[in-house]
Amino acid sequence: MGKYFLAIDIGASSGRHILGSLENGKIVLEEVHRFWNGMDDIDGTLCWDVERLFREIIEGMRKCREIGKIPESVGIDTWGVDYVLLDQEDNMIGQAIGYRDHRTDGMDEEVYKIIKEDDLYARTGIQKAIFNTIYQLMAVKKKDPACLEKAAAMLMIPDYFHYKLCGNKVQEYSEATTGQLVNPGTKDWDYELIEMLGFPKDMFLKMHMPGTAIGTLTDEVKNMVGYDCQVVLPPTHDTASAVMAVPSNDKNVCYISSGTWSLMGVEMEEANCSMQSKEANFTNEGGYDGKITYLANIMGLWMIQSVRNKLAPDMSYGELCDQASKEEIASLVNCQDERFLSPDDMVCAIQEYCKETSQQVPETLPELASVIYNSLAKCYAEKLQEIEKITGVKYDRIHIIGGGSNAVYLNELTAKYTGVPVYAGPGEATAIGNVLTQMIQSGEFTDLAQARECVAKSFAIRVYEGR
């Protein structure tokens, strides 16, 4: 019997349990559980039901036992920036509020009263996004300070789930960096910044690097799932896990982790916290082995998901891609415009943008999809030029990983707009990166370079030639 490693990958719209193993020198994945995710509107506040999500985590782990494939270890990755607060008795304080909630409106200005925006970027290297943890915590400080006064620990969402599994409260590096409160040089919390902002310093716990084993299952969890295993930290920020699965060890490679968000960038040894980098809206997030995943956050397939869910929720994305490719509408939108972050109606938001900019207004779902796909590809091309200008490196290929690597029309457009070959796949990049971390920790691979070589021969990669 081979060894199994369980990646629990929870995105903003769904979660899944994927077992990874090595067979004949190749990585084999098996999905054992899938579940829905989304924010709930609780009295006008958008929240994550973390207790329901934890029940799904347990259910999927139990299914591993039922099929007779007990994992050696388990690791959880999720989206970034969101967190829970725990009191002295480890009870959750309030709700786990989601990043699309509007409580952070105006909180950037509150932060900038304490530290200038340029100085904040120079300290953290993190792109401004109004939902970053720094602004969320400022919202709590301003609107519900009693919550911060009671807080003994702040755990990012995947840290909280790992704590629920093994009983150890630790904070993982890659996820922590998304909050805009980490020093990219020391790769630890910027405690001086935290104190300047008036956040309780003691609730920011010791940081650990991906690949760290932090314990085994609690007795309660063992009884629920029917076995024991190690809990190993992957890069718990899903983007950082996905970047691990780029099937190449070449240095001059640009990646797009394509899903609800499109994260486009390159791996670097050191952060670039220059004003040129800030003005181009790039971020220096943490990655495996202390690397920097230097990237731009682009709105991504969230826009496609939103219009499809409203107009034709039963249509497959493959069919939608195919229909969009037949449209001739030339309208484009700025995917980075904040109006597309959390609109009440994405269709109306796109149509209003086109009206304001005197372009043809898309009416049908295929027209809307065509506008979105072309706009995304154009944005990718612009970002590639910016990355090359900032780094001084010419990138001769783009690796598209994640679910969006299956969007054939978008891949074709990306190759067309950027003029460089696009290598699409693997689709399950986040889960693969999670599994790779556990496999390296277990000794299945000696390092990430060897693991990436295995990814390249284990999964189909489709090439789209640039012009």
Predicted structure pTM score: 0.92
> 329: closest CA among 305, 301, 350?
350
Q: Tell me the pLDDT tens digit for each residue of 149-164.
A: 999 999 999 999 999 9
The residue-averaged pLDDT of 136-149 equals: 95
- pLDDT at position 227 is 98
DSSP state of 237: B
CA angle (159, 22, 233) in 5-degree steps: 10
- pLDDT at position 53 is 98
Structural tokens at position 264:
């486009």
Alpha-carbon distances, residue 301 vs 46, 73, 258, 279 (angstroms): 20, 31, 7, 24
Confidence bin at 259 (pLDDT 50/70/90):
confident
Alpha-carbon distances, residue 93 vs 300, 348, 354 (angstroms): 32, 37, 43
CA 91 to chain centre: 26
**Ramachandran area for residue 205 (φ above 0: left; ψ -120 to 50: alpha; else beta):** beta
Give percent of the chain above pLDDT 90.
94
- pLDDT at position 12 is 85
DSSP state of 360: P
Q: Tell me the pLDDT tens digit for each residue of 341-381.
A: 889 999 999 999 999 999 999 999 999 999 999 999 999 99
Is there a contact between 241 and 437 (Cβ–Cβ < 8 Å)? yes
Q: Tell me the pLDDT tens digit for each residue of 329-342.
A: 999 999 989 899 88
Is residue 56's pLDDT more than 80? yes
CA distance 142 to 411: 44
Residues sharing a CB contact under 8 Å with residue 200, sequence separation 6 or more, in sequence order: 148, 149, 151
Out of 56-60, 253-257, 339-343, pick the least confident: 339-343
Residues sharing a CB contact under 8 Å with residue 20, sequence separation 6 or more, in sequence order: 4, 5, 6, 7, 27, 28, 29, 30, 431, 432, 435, 438, 439
Q: Are strands 83-86 and 14-23 parallel, antiparallel or unpaired?
A: unpaired
Q: Residue 86 pairs with which residues in a beta bridge?
A: 92, 153
Is residue 297's pLDDT more than 90? no
CA 371 to chain centre: 24
Is residue 249's pLDDT more than 90? yes
- pLDDT at position 65 is 98
- pLDDT at position 429 is 96
Is residue 467's pLDDT more than 70? no
Torsion angle of the four alpha carbons 245, 251, 254, 259, in this order, in degrees rounded to the nearest 10: 10
> 112: closest CA among 86, 130, 100?
130
- pLDDT at position 397 is 93
Is there a contact between 96 and 84 (Cβ–Cβ < 8 Å)? yes
Q: What is the CA radius of gyration of the chain?
A: 21
The residue-averaged pLDDT of 213-219 equals: 98
Is there a contact between 370 and 327 (Cβ–Cβ < 8 Å)? yes
Q: Are strands 292-298 and 283-286 parallel, antiparallel or unpaired?
A: antiparallel
Quickly tell me which residue has 């934890």 as its tokens: 54
- pLDDT at position 279 is 95
Tell me if residue 238 is catalytic.
yes
H/E element, 118: helix 117-124
Q: Average pLDDT over the chain, rounded to whole? A: 96
Is residue 222's pLDDT more than 70? yes
CA distance 27 to 444: 11
CA distance 345 to 178: 27
82, 101, 159, 238: the active-site residue: 238
The residue-averaged pLDDT of 172-177 equals: 98
Torsion angle of the four alpha carbons 435, 437, 443, 446, in this order, in degrees rounded to the nearest 10: 120
- pLDDT at position 1 is 63
